[in-house]
Structure 1
Amino acid sequence: MKASKVYPMPLRTKEESKKAYVTLNGKEMVDDLGQNIILYLNFVEKVHWEDLRPPVLPPGLMIVEEIVSPEDEKMLLESIDWADNSVGQNAQKSLKHRRVKHYGYEFRYDNNNVEKDKPLPGGLPDICNSILEKCLKEGHIKYIPDQLTINQYEPGQGIPPHIDTHSAFENEIISLSLGAEIVMDFKHPDGCTVSVMLPQRSLLVMTGESRYLWTHGITPRKFDVIQASEGQKSGIISSDAGNLTLNKRGVRTSFTFRKVRRTPCDCSYPLVCDSQSCHQNETFPSFPENDKEASELEREYVHRVYEEIAEHFSSTRHTPWPQIRAFLKALPKGSIVADVGCGNGKYLGLNKDIYMIGCDRSQNLVEICGERQFEAFVCDALAVPIRSETCDACISIAVIHHFATAERRLATLQELVRLLRPGGKALIYVWAMEQEYNKQKSKYLRGSRDSEEKEEHFNSSVLASGLFGEQNPGTSTHNSVCSISATNDLKDGGCNANGVINSKLSVHTNRTSFHSQDVLVPWHLKRDPMRDKHAEPLKLTPDLGVPRDPSPVFHRYYHVFCEGELEAACRMLNNISIQQSYYDQGNWCVIFKKL
């Protein structure tokens, strides 16, 4: 089969692009060699023009090839005793993405930092001294590192995009690639992405902008797309489809050396610097003590926020989740379904054989539903203006966690029960505190379980004292202006956090463990210049390389649910039976039936 090629065809207007797509897609043509080919086009409404320019290495990034000999490489690899855990209880970890060992200081994945007053015994392995002295002599580093992380990647493994925590380490970070080559992806906050080949026995040096501003990560896959040109070992992987080929990955081991920072970071990138917190001058509310305060908190940190971010939020919500899709597809033809908290209407048009109507507290999100020709109206989930017992099914996806007290969350569940006819079903999703990544070993990431009490009638109507204790959850994949992360490998843990009564709500940092069940989650607004005439394109200041983004950061209130909490709340309802209770992609989920 002849290899296919991809060519971008930027046209001046959307109408011209659509016309080209309709005219040329699927057309049979004859190429220069007289062979019959079929031309396939894909119409794309948005494109980052940076992706079409010849890329350059991120500033401050350098690759030094053949930094060690094959003999030294063999000795370094053979020196690793993966079975030895004598240097510390947590210094060796078996993670979903890779195998890891720490020396000098243990990197803590629960807070993305190191305990600077608790060095590990033994320091760095002596076998590393010669390579570090060489790097110092050749000017790749200015001081000898005191922390080492060894990662081993099997084919198909990787590490999520991240920035090494500013406050944890000094400017220079160096990483030695042994055993196999790999492609590492670097991404600037403006969306520009550069894929870089790291050859076997090479040294990656990150300083300045590449260390502080760009994320770097390894996509989990078994093959990399690399340059086909002979003699090109390292450097940028270009977008020239005629000069690309597939390269099967091998087992790669990296030695990443860093120097623990003893003073706050004063880099030139405050938007992504945890030492220069973007929240330090902001005042955030306390946990509400009564219904009035809860209502005010929701109005300011839920309702107002979604009105402001509606367009951007909608642009990130387009793919239906499989188990929600399955629930809707399994409903009988002609079913009447209410989507309470429908957002941009992602699920409203999913099943053409049922009649769905949506409602949401956000006027702007409801207007987006209207633009998509969906039936939706504005209302609060606490009081839905639909006649009782008229719905065959209801869904509430990522809504109830925005209510600030247990009583208000229970009231939204009771409203769903009111809407259902006898025999009708409701599907509910809420954010989970337990954000488990090791799916093969997880006690959380399991398939749905049928309740043993499927037909039991629950008549409890009084809130049990302490049943809904205010605690906290894991990681969100939503946008965050302070997305300082080391990796997404969180340790197993339940809801062990302290309560937040009479305390200020904390601001959650993306890709870290939740430290409170009740948190404010940042949303860094990015306006769409195509829809917002007042939005300015994102630019770089020439002196600092910092994104100059006039858009604000908004904070959404969340109560993240512990395991069993949503199910326990549903058991407080009258006249329902729980059909299923399960975990799905960072959410706790319940399906119940009205008796």
Structure 2
Amino acid sequence: MAAPGCRSAKLSKEQKKLLRKQVKAQHILLKQDGIATVPGPTQHLVIANGGLGNGVNRQQLSEVLQTFGIVETLLMLPHKPHAFATYSTIQEAREAYNALNGQNIKIAGHTQPIILYLNFVEEVVCEDISPLSLPPGLLVVEDIISPEHETRLLALVDESPNTATENAQRSLKHRRVKHYGYEFRYDNNNIDKDKPLPGGLPEICDEVLEHSMEKGYVRFKPDQLTINQYEPGQGIPPHIDTHSPFEDGIICLSLGAETVMDFKHPSGHSVAVMLPRRSLLVMTGESRYLWSHGITQRKFDVVLASETQKTGAITGDISNLTLNQRRTRTSFTFRKVRTLPCDCAYPEVCDSQNCRKGSDPQPSVPSSDGDASKLEHKYVHDVYDGIADHFSSTRHTPWPKVTEFLKAMPAGAFVVDVGCGNGKYLGVNKNLFMVGCDRSKNLVHICRERKFEVFVCDGLLVPLRSGVCDACISIAVVHHFSTEGRRLSAIKEIVRLLRPGGKALIYVWAMEQERNKVKSKYLLEKKEKIIKTQETCITVPVVDEDQDINKVDLACFNQLTNVNNDRVNKQNSEKLPVHTNRTSFESQDLLVPWHLKAGVKAHSISPLPPTGSNELAVFHRYYHVFSDGELENVCRSISNIRILQSYYDQGNWCVIIEKY
């Protein structure tokens, strides 16, 4: 079979290889974007690997294509790895197809050449999209200062840092930062109003601030300044500036380079806004209080190719998009410190109003089984149902040691995944008969869409008969039970399902996120220096095979229970702490935030923003993180199992147990 446009009846080895890759490109285009190719030559081509998503800009691709004729239309979609081209004649399109297909194309800015794969399509349709409007209250003012003034402002970055800057640099090593007026605290997205910095704001900023007041961009003269310098590829996570510390009206100078900032409404509607060099971004009203804003981490921005529009929303004119390489950008963000609580019209994201309403009191460690059930329902079951789609999108790679355990099972073994989540382990070994169960009906629905055998149930009561399983796995589940007794019951339920000789693998989150001077992947994602608190160690008796295991294990469990009871009694009078993501754990019982991706809607429940948070949607999940030896101690209190192996795996304590 010859490739489209190829008349040769016999293909060379190189042609066959090219055809295989071309067909693969066809399948990817159809599967991922619904683009159907056609066998015969037309004026229209789809160019795989030639899109903005591959780092190819419009000018570079246009120069390559125009070698073979007049390109009437070149369509490059945002963040897509392919492009569309329409030639004035079929012959020109055929020549481009034959010459470029499978060829290495050197693109400026790329260290490696790009291989293009071309296919014919029936037509290229460029739909008209209504221009996007800026969020209400958002304004971009071009050329707010002169190039000379910009140079003097940028010199501030190189001056000796003040104390606030030194503090900030300990937590923001990835970029240069300075504060004036008040230190902006990145750990709580707030300021300490009782600790103003000496000297106030630099006098060189007065001209911009007075002009902003004259034009009505801000009502009050700002008294807090944060300077950030971003290298190419760095960004800002989507957020809303916390309501309580600052007045309405936040202004930001972009110096040194332009960038694209993304604004998103809670409904999911988003607008990409170009911020030119020496421009002033003004956020008031809805854009300041309700819309999140952020800068995606990347080295190229998708922008309009036309020079006629340098600022504002990057509109729906998708026939005129290209890439703009980022350079070092410095932002001067000015704010006015608030003296009274915020009373804005957006209470759903206002920390001042949420605090006054007392909408969601922070829970305590439960002291009874009933309290534990209520806590888990609200801070585990409801949360995972609410974030199921976003959670599933982040859970796609099976952990190697879990895969190793499953692949070691004999063919035909019946294995149950208790707390299967989105089912990422259910298809690891096709020779097993695997069934999954989870408390989240929405995660179970995702599993069913993937054609897995799953059902909804609580981990404390799995509706399968005793002794039916050859093996069980429980990965990152037991730590969601909020009392020692319920964690023990969850493991006992797994043991009940096993036949004699059956094995189970259990993973729980470890209190110790650093072992043998190696940090877990969880901590490696946080580029901060963390001071780790030390926990009291529990000495566990060594069990000889000839000893009465019931007596020894019961003693171990009682010792553990007494220590935990002491801890619970101390914490019952306190609220469960909210953990700061990517830091060491300072408490075993805590709430861990899940930051819902901007634009993703939660199922059935509302986000629970903590006081002072500037996140658009935050959900809190209960965790009990296990200390060294704790998981083994719980297992040893069960009389009819033995621990075959225990180990530490990237921030998790793990055991393999066998029923006898």
Q: Return the TM-score normalized by structure 1.
A: 0.72
Aligned to 1:412: 490
- Give the distance between the partners of 2:596 and 2:526, measured in 1 at CA: 29
State whether structure 2 residue 242 is matched by structure 1 residue 165. Answer: yes
- Tell me: CA distance 1:506–1:589, structure 2 relative to 1, closer, same or farther (3 Å): closer
- Give the distance between the partners of 1:97 and 1:112, measured in 2 at CA: 18
Deviates more, 1:412-421 or 1:372-381: 412-421
Within the candidate set 570, 576, 580, 2:643 is matched to: 576
Give the secondary-structure state (helix, strand or coil) at the position aligned to 2:163.
coil
- Structure 2 counterpart of 1:118, one-letter code: K
Give the secondary-structure state (helix, strand or coil) at the position aligned to 1:401.
helix
How is 1:1-400 mapped onto 2 (pairs within 5 angstroms)?
A: 24-25=36-37, 29-31=41-43, 32-34=88-90, 35-36=93-94, 38=119, 53-81=130-158, 84-87=161-164, 90-95=167-172, 98-277=175-354, 280-281=358-359, 286-299=364-377, 302-303=380-381, 305=382, 310=385, 313-314=388-389, 316-318=391-393, 320-324=395-399, 327-328=402-403, 331-332=407-408, 334=411, 336-362=414-440, 366=444, 369-370=447-448, 372-384=450-462, 385=464, 387-388=466-467, 390-397=469-476, 399-400=477-478
- Structure 1 counterpart of 2:415, one-letter code: V
Give the secondary-structure state (helix, strand or coil) at the position aligned to 2:622.
strand
Give the secondary-structure state (helix, strand or coil) at the position aligned to 2:336.
strand
What's the CA shift for 1:509?
10
What's the CA shift for 1:294?
2.0
Q: Is residue 200–residue 223 contact of structure 2 (8 Å, CA) maintained in 1?
A: yes
Q: Is residue 388–residue 442 contact of structure 2 (8 Å, CA) maintained in 1?
A: no
State whether structure 2 residue 581 is matched by structure 1 residue 501. Answer: no
Report Cα offsets for 1:483-523 as digits up to 9, x if no partner. Answer: xxxxxxxxxxxxxxx96413566788999999974349699
Report Cα offsets for 1:107-147 as digits up to 9, x if no partner. Answer: 11222211111111221122222222222233322221111
- Give the distance between the partners of 2:421 and 2:171, measured in 1 at CA: 39
- Structure 2 counterpart of 1:328, one-letter code: T
Give the secondary-structure state (helix, strand or coil) at the position aligned to 1:90.
helix
- Tell me: CA distance 1:233–1:97, structure 2 relative to 1, closer, same or farther (3 Å): farther
Report Cα offsets for 1:186-219 as digits up to 9, x if no partner. Answer: 1111111111111111111111111111100011
- Give the distance between the partners of 2:164 and 2:387, measured in 1 at CA: 47
Give the secondary-structure state (helix, strand or coil) at the position aligned to 2:249.
strand
What's the CA shift for 1:389?
8.6
Give the length in aligned residue pairs.
505
- Structure 2 counterpart of 1:359, one-letter code: C
Q: What's the RMSD between the two structures over aligned residues?
A: 4.5
Q: Is residue 463–residue 572 contact of structure 1 (8 Å, CA) maintained in 2?
A: no
- Give the distance between the partners of 1:52 and 1:462, measured in 2 at CA: 68
Report Cα offsets for 1:435-483 as digits up to 9, x if no partner. Answer: 75754566799xxxxxxx9x99996444424358769xxxxxxxxxxxx
- Give the distance between the partners of 2:582 and 2:351, measured in 1 at CA: 13
Deviates more, 1:113-122 or 1:124-133: 124-133
Q: Return the TM-score normalized by structure 2.
A: 0.65
Give the secondary-structure state (helix, strand or coil) at the position aligned to 2:297.
coil
Give the secondary-structure state (helix, strand or coil) at the position aligned to 1:408.
helix
Aligned to 2:652: 589
- Tell me: CA distance 1:172–1:432, structure 2 relative to 1, closer, same or farther (3 Å): farther
- Larger proportion of helix: 2
* Unpaired segments ≥5 residues, structure 1: 1-17, 42-48, 446-452, 472-497, 536-552
- Tell me: CA distance 1:218–1:252, structure 2 relative to 1, closer, same or farther (3 Å): same
Give the secondary-structure state (helix, strand or coil) at the position aligned to 1:590.
strand
- Give the distance between the partners of 1:234 and 1:526, measured in 2 at CA: 23
Aligned to 1:489: none
What's the CA shift for 1:163?
0.3
State whether structure 2 residue 585 is matched by structure 1 residue 518. Answer: no
Aligned to 2:623: 559
Aligned to 1:403: 481
Q: Is residue 24–residue 39 contact of structure 1 (8 Å, CA) maintained in 2?
A: no
What's the CA shift for 1:407?
3.2
- Give the distance between the partners of 2:236 and 2:170, measured in 1 at CA: 14
What's the CA shift for 1:417?
5.6
- Structure 1 counterpart of 2:373, one-letter code: S
What's the CA shift for 1:28?
5.2
- Give the distance between the partners of 2:160 and 2:635, measured in 1 at CA: 51
- Give the distance between the partners of 2:570 and 2:441, measured in 1 at CA: 34
Q: Is residue 152–residue 254 contact of structure 1 (8 Å, CA) maintained in 2?
A: yes
- Higher-RCO chain (CA-CA 8 Å, sequence separation at least 6): 1
Aligned to 2:516: none
Q: Is residue 506–residue 656 contact of structure 2 (8 Å, CA) maintained in 1?
A: no
Give the secondary-structure state (helix, strand or coil) at the position aligned to 1:246.
strand
- Give the distance between the partners of 1:408 and 1:381, measured in 2 at CA: 10
What's the CA shift for 1:422?
5.6
- Give the distance between the partners of 1:468 and 1:217, measured in 2 at CA: 44
Within the candidate set 448, 466, 482, 2:563 is matched to: 466
- Give the distance between the partners of 1:132 and 1:527, measured in 2 at CA: 34
- Give the distance between the partners of 1:27 and 1:382, measured in 2 at CA: 57
Q: Is residue 343–residue 360 contact of structure 1 (8 Å, CA) maintained in 2?
A: yes
- Tell me: CA distance 1:366–1:206, structure 2 relative to 1, closer, same or farther (3 Å): closer
Give the secondary-structure state (helix, strand or coil) at the position aligned to 2:303.
strand
What's the CA shift for 1:181?
1.0
- Give the distance between the partners of 1:367 and 1:260, measured in 2 at CA: 47
- Tell me: CA distance 1:219–1:69, structure 2 relative to 1, closer, same or farther (3 Å): same
Structure whose alpha-carbon radius of gyration is higher: 2
What's the CA shift for 1:322?
2.2
- Structure 1 counterpart of 2:42, one-letter code: V
Deviates more, 1:277-286 or 1:505-514: 505-514
- Give the distance between the partners of 1:466 and 1:142, measured in 2 at CA: 57
Aligned to 2:55: none
Report Cα offsets for 1:230-265 as digits up to 9, x if no partner. Answer: 242212223433211111111111110000111111
- Structure 1 counterpart of 2:183, one-letter code: E
